[in-house]
């Protein structure tokens, strides 16, 4: 039995996230249908992360098992021919039999893009958060640095999450500007439900002088979601990198 890993990228605008849903189009649903059609093994496709509706991925991994001997190169072409144009399989490789895209992941990097302008760019519709008021990227970056470390990030998790352990280790967090685009980059060993979007909203609230940048640590230690900022909309969020040990 072979274990094949696919590397994907996708625009999430028309999808209700990664996970298969009964009455909604999902990225996993597209990949699963293609794999079933090509390989016929009825083997489940396992993803590296549960992305929300409207969220994108510059890099995403999934894996499935098969008895078929179709080469990896032909697998890429075959799956691409059977999925939505907003998803692309970049590569395929054969991994250890017990490899799991989600559980073997060591760290992830997300980016969040804000178009800081009063004028929309039609080419970026659905791919950035359009925010018309002037943002102070230096103040936001000063605040973002305070996310780095091993903490209980319950304050940055949406209510209703079933996760019990809310401790995560953030290894990098920064805000940069390139013209009208602000980019928030954050890396960690794992993320909670809406964690990056709440972090982003909190940084925007810092720029609005609603939250002091030095209060980020206090908000984290409080474990109180109501003290953190707004939840940024999904369209600016991208899963950017997924790292494995091998």
Strands 181-188 and 105-115: antiparallel
Place of tokens 């640095």: 145
Please enumerate in sequence order all residues whose Cβ is within 8 A of that of 186, keeping only pairs 6 or more positions apart, or say none.
109, 110, 111, 112, 144, 147, 170, 172, 173, 196, 199
The answer to whether residues 194 and 225 touch, using CB atoms and an 8 Å cutoff, is: no
State how far the Cα of 196 lies from the Cα of 111, in Å rounded to an integer.
8
Q: Count of CB atoms within 10 A of residue 54's CB?
A: 19
State how far the Cα of 200 lies from the Cα of 208, in Å rounded to an integer.
13
Q: Would you put residue 27 in left (φ > 0), alpha (ψ -120 to 50) or beta?
A: alpha
Is 52 one of the annotated active-site residues of the chain? yes
Catalytic-labelled residue, pool 36, 52, 86, 215: 52
Which residues does the annotation mark as catalytic?
52
């Amino acid at each position: 039995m072979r274990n094949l890993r696919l590397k994907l990228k996708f625009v999430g605008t028309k999808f209700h996230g990664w996970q298969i849903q009964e009455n909604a189009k999902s990225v996993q649903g597209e990949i699963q249908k293609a794999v079933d059609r090509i390989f016929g093994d009825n083997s489940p496709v396992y993803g590296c992360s549960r992305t929300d509706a409207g969220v994108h991925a510059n890099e995403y991994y999934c894996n499935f098992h098969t008895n078929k001997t179709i080469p990896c190169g032909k697998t890429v072409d075959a799956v691409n021919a059977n999925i939505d144009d907003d998803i692309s399989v970049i590569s395929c490789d054969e991994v250890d039999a017990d490899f799991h895209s989600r559980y073997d992941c060591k760290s992830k990097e997300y980016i969040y893009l804000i178009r800081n302008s009063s004028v929309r760019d039609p080419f970026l519709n659905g791919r950035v958060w359009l925010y018309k008021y002037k943002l102070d990227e230096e103040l936001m970056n000063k605040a973002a640095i305070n996310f780095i470390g091993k903490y209980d990030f319950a304050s940055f998790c949406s209510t209703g999450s079933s996760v019990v352990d809310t401790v995560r280790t953030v290894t990098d967090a920064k805000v940069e500007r390139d013209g009208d685009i602000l980019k928030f980059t954050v890396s960690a060993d794992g993320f909670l439900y809406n964690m990056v979007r709440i972090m982003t909203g909190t940084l925007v609230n810092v720029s609005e002088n609603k939250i002091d940048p030095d209060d980020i640590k206090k908000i984290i230690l409080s474990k109180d979601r109501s003290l953190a900022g707004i939840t940024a909309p999904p369209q600016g969020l991208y899963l950017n990198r997924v790292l494995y040990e091998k």
